[in-house]
Amino acid sequence: MNQADFINRYKKFQNWKKSTAGTSWTYHDRFDQDGFFVIKNLCNPECLITPVPEKTGLIVYDHMGKIVQVKEERQVLGSTSRNNFPHYKEQYNKIRLEVEKQIGRKLYNTYYFDRFYYPGQVLDYHVDRGPCEISVSVHIGTNLEGDDMRWPFYIESPDKYKYKDEKKVEVLEYGGISGHLLQPGDGIVYKGCECPHWRDEMPGQQGHHYYHQVFFHYVIQDGNMAHECE
């Protein structure tokens, strides 16, 4: 990517951050301020554990639980992801109810997927599409050991703006960055369209270690992204 392309992409990204900041309001003050919060022991990880798949790629399931497509996993090359894996459907609905209780707004399901990361892989700095307005990342398990187990999920809080005639005209405070170490069963609830998030390179030994998590995505029923529901 040349310098001009980089600058153009950077400007577009900053405009996106500005346009989405503060659009997914809730009745959870800290959530609206920081863009995220952590729920310890959100679910029993034993209910989520499955064997490590033998193959890499993106496996897509339909609503009947049948595999309809297998293709390359483009967001994290070489990882294994499963879109709408039937094993997680019950927890998907249970967690929605808990998040609704926490934020005081009703949600629609959009989609969910789990991912097995392997050593050397990176989740690039990014914000999510509309169906990920309210997202939950739950740590399922890993066989990393010692200090390698400390592989954080990074998130950047939304910028805070000065308004004039209901328009954002000036940044008053830039969003801070924080890293979060989740234990199996812990979940981080975050505003996927507002908060950039990422993971640095995964540690460990190639061909031996893995890190498994699941992403549950929702939209607010009477919010800006309600049209994105399934």
Domain ranges of the chain: 3-51+81-228
Tokens 């996993």 label which residue? 73
For residue 20, give every residue at least 6 positions away whose Cβ sits within 8 Å of its Cβ, in sequence order, or none.
127, 158, 193, 194
Q: pTM, whole model, 2 decimals?
A: 0.90
pLDDT at 152: 97
For residue 190, which of 214, 212, 211, 216 has the smallest C-alpha distance?
Answer: 216
Superfamily of domain 3-51+81-228: q2cbj1_9rhob like domain (2.60.120.620)
pLDDT at 9: 65
Q: Per-residue pLDDT for the chain (230 aa), expressed as one digit of tens each? A: 566 665 566 566 676 666 676 678 899 999 999 999 999 999 999 999 999 999 999 999 998 899 999 999 999 999 999 999 999 999 999 999 999 999 999 999 999 999 999 999 999 999 999 999 999 999 999 999 999 999 999 999 988 876 666 676 677 788 899 999 999 999 999 999 999 999 999 999 999 999 999 999 999 999 888 888 76
pLDDT at 172: 79
pLDDT at 173: 81
What span, in angstroms and rounded, lies between the C-alpha atoms of 106 and 193?
A: 18
